[in-house]
Chains A and B, each alone.
Chain A
Amino acid sequence: DAKTTQPNSMESNEEEPVHLPCNHSTISGTDYIHWYRQLPSQGPEYVIHGLTSNVNNRMASLAIAEDRKSSTLILHRATLRDAAVYYCILRDPLGDSNYQLIWGAGTKLIIKP
Chain B
Amino acid sequence: DTAVSQTPKYLVTQMGNDKSIKCEQNLGHDTMYWYKQDSKKFLKIMFSYNNKELIINETVPNRFSPKSPDKAHLNLHINSLELGDSAVYFCASSPGKKALSYNEQFFGPGTRLTVL
Contact = CB atoms under 8 A, between A and B. Distances in A.
Interface residues of A, number: 25
Interface residues of B, number: 24
Nearest to A32: B103
A105 interface: yes
Contact of B48 (A42, A97, A100): A100
A96 B101 CA distance: 10
Contacts, number: 61
Interface stretch (A9-17, A43-51, A66-74, A75-83): A43-51
Contacts of A24: none
B97 to A, nearest CB: 9
Interface of B: 4, 40-45, 48, 53, 55, 90, 92, 98-101, 103-110
